[in-house]
Amino acid sequence: MFPKKFSNQNIRIFKGHIYTYTNYKDSVYGEKHIRMNGEDYRLWDPKRSKLSAAIFNGFSGTPILEDSETLYLGASFGTTVSHISDISPEGKIFAVEFSPEPFAGLMKLAENRKNIYPVLSNARNPEAYSFFLERDPEIIYQDISQRDQLDILFNNLDCFEHWQYSLFILKATSVDSSKKPSEVLNQVTAKIKSRGGIHIISVTDISNYHKGHYLLFLENSR
């Protein structure tokens, strides 16, 4: 169920697939390129990107605009980062990754894309990389499959207190594999609400593409 429209015009739906407008010819993870109306677009695979999966499932509130400053936590090899780079060509993406091997992939990606800034650091300690950012990011995107993933998010929201929106990928089985994902979701949303200063705009179930995963769209309400 695709949304009817997007806040970012660099996202397109064509014949049942999602594409991002791009200025780059090379594929990042083997994705197909097509040309529409004299412009180049990259296929955004929902099986490879949780943000794409959320869009396939009706999420239309993507707050990332053409000039947004985004802090991406858990960037891995840069699959989703590359598409955010497409849809935010005038912005900046600070891509935080802790593991050396995927970070090497991020470095290679950043060689050709001037709006990606790889940061080799542990997302649990935002003070260690906060100096890379000239100002607090407008968007904080997190995709980290750890038991303490919510605490990691809170640490970053506190450090960059003027954030506007957050896209939080919850992997329920990483938090507690003994419970149903829906039960973990309820616990996590309750913790977010009780903390104050954070408004949950929407929750999108993406388990049809990524088992036990949800995308929580959050807004700073301080």
SS3 at position 159: helix
Residue 92 lies in a domain: yes
Residue 6 lies in a domain: no
Residue 141 lies in a domain: yes
Interacting residues of 221 by C-beta distance below 8 A, sequence separation 6+ = 197, 198, 199
Low-confidence ranges of the chain (pLDDT < 70): 1-7
Backbone dihedral angles phi then psi of residue 77, each to the nearest 5 degrees: -85, -10
What sign does the CA torsion over 159, 88, 171, 190 have? positive
Domain count, the chain: 1
Residue 31 lies in a domain: no
For residues 116 and 110, what is the distance between their CA atoms, to the nearest angstrom? 5
For residues 214 and 185, what is the distance between their CA atoms, to the nearest angstrom? 8
Residue 34 lies in a domain: no
What CATH number does the domain containing 120 carry?
3.40.50.150
Predicted confidence at residue 9, as pLDDT, reads 83
Q: What is the pTM of this model?
A: 0.95
Cβ atoms < 10 Å from Cβ of 83: 27
For residues 54 and 160, what is the distance between their CA atoms, to the nearest angstrom? 25
Residue 11 lies in a domain: no
User: Do 73 and 219 touch, CB atoms closer than 8 A?
Assistant: no
Residue 85 lies in domain: 46-220
User: Do 201 and 219 touch, CB atoms closer than 8 A?
Assistant: yes
Predicted confidence at residue 3, as pLDDT, reads 53
Predicted confidence at residue 1, as pLDDT, reads 54
For residue 160, how many C-alpha atoms fall within 13 Å in the half-sphere facing its CB?
30
Residue 35 lies in a domain: no
At CB < 8 A and 24+ separation, what contacts does 92-96 make? 92/117, 93/117, 94/69, 94/70, 94/119, 94/129, 94/132, 94/133, 94/137, 95/119, 96/71, 96/72, 96/121, 96/123, 96/129
Residue 38 lies in a domain: no
Predicted confidence at residue 115, as pLDDT, reads 97
